[in-house]
A and B are shown apart, each in its own frame.
With several copies, the nearest count.
Chain A
């Protein structure tokens, strides 16, 4: 049923529909509404599992870990500082092959402290072994959760999944979202049946120390699980489409690509803004298209190359930068083309850090300026240094 609902609430309801046994989270802007909505559902006896209010994100993730090894379905949500603080546990959960769904309400990383959206947080965890999915809008944010559990728990995958949604832009926006019934979700998502879990009848030892003789093989298996995830994501996405009637690009999605000379690549909520910009530019005769990255881990090199190989110009919009190297998505996309014969020109832009608004004008300006940009560097877009010079005068006096 279509509901007019805040993004956070849509996610909270979606999570409850997935019937996790244990939810544990720690509040941090802009994830708070999700947790608060879940708390209210718990208080209203709409969510019937355990809700564990912890003293830090480190413990939130650890409680989830404990729950999953005990055979429970678990959920957490966080962002930014919280994601970094729990990062040790997250690498560990992936390495232990424990399914989990974590919502990351993407936000910039300190310093300077800033509570607004960008993708530095999730990107900083891109090595961790988490599957990473990015939502374009609240409908997708909610829908990704049903899919995420199914992907995460698939026996050939068994990896935790991070569902990314832009902080505030999605979490705090009210939009119409189609919410399924409990029955529909139950039909789609079977209950969690782990292969192994802590059980006094069949004791096992979890989390052993593996030396030089096996560590590399365990990590290799992890990579293989990520590869398996390609197939599982495809299967689950298609099954979702069939059952719920909403269609997603599987790893990537496209918009007006048919005759496009220039293609913008992006992930997250900016994708919607880009679509509007494209309609505008096309109305002016500029042949622009969009490739949206929905699955960032595993990184869908093949799908990306297939999609872009005949394009002349590619614009990669990164909402995060690896300091001292540049746009993260851009780097991986450029690398993906390595060894290909037909290679577009790929320009890299750093946009919208720390909540800097990305408008239609931002996008059309980038497209308009494409030809003037050198290939290698990542360009920071729409800088205005005046504001930050405010402190200078005093500093000169001391």
Chain B
């Protein structure tokens, strides 16, 4: 079972991202469970969403405390939310930011992937909404879901032009991350 935690802000589509990633994994024949960190938060406030992907039925119903993957939708969260908390030693963090992993200098030995999702979003989709883009990035980074799965999930949720643009943007992120340029080296114990 792999566990994913997504950090974002109300209105940025973190919950949708978890849901759609789950859908893609489901279509790929996996058992999945996606859910928000149930809050009363309003637009702009920090939120979390969770996703489990497994090869057998998922029975546990608790939040995720030791994720394999952490996705950070908004770089400002790094300052106020403990996004790295509980991340497994061999875990991966994907951060939407202009900065390189080195510039970010997170207090972790895990692999850190960064890229400017808002830039892609603004350019390709026309709005700074990064959730589908981060889905593409996750697919590439994790190898858990083929890109076609992401595409199908996006098309199941969005229609027409919006869908097309989201797929294109996600694809760009997918290719970018697949390229591996944006990752930190997974540092060994020093």
Contact = CB atoms under 8 A, between A and B. Distances in A.
- A–B direct touch in complex (beta carbons closer than 8 A): yes
Interface of A: 4, 6, 29-30, 115-116, 137, 166-170, 172-176, 209, 211, 269-270, 272-273, 275-276, 355, 357-360
A272 B61 contact: yes
A293 to B, nearest CB: 16
Interface stretch (B33-41, B112-120, B132-140): B33-41
A176 B26 contact: yes
9 contacts: A4-B26, A137-B59, A168-B36, A169-B61, A173-B34, A174-B19, A273-B60, A355-B38, A358-B62
A357 B63 CA distance: 7
A273 B40 contact: no
Given A4-B22, A175-B58, A275-B59, A168 B35 contact: yes
A116 B38 contact: yes
A209 to B, nearest CB: 7
B24 to A, nearest CB: 9
B61 A172 contact: no
A49 B34 CA distance: 32
A6 B38 CA distance: 14
A272 B60 CA distance: 5
A137 B33 CA distance: 11
A357 B62 CA distance: 6
B35 A174 contact: yes
B61 A166 contact: yes
Interface of B is mostly: mixed
A360 B62 CA distance: 8
B177 interface: no
A270 B61 contact: yes
A269 B63 CA distance: 13
B32 interface: yes
The 4 closest A-B pairs by CB, nearest first: A272-B59, A168-B38, A4-B26, A173-B35
Contacts of B32: 4, 174-176
Residue among A6, A115, A168, A355 with max Cβ neighbours from chain B (10 Å)? A168
Contacts of A173: 33-35, 61
Interface string B24-52: 00110001111110101000000000000
A289 to B, nearest CB: 15
B158 interface: no
B13 to A, nearest CB: 15
Nearest to B58: A175
B23 interface: yes
Contacts of A270: 61
A6 B32 CA distance: 11
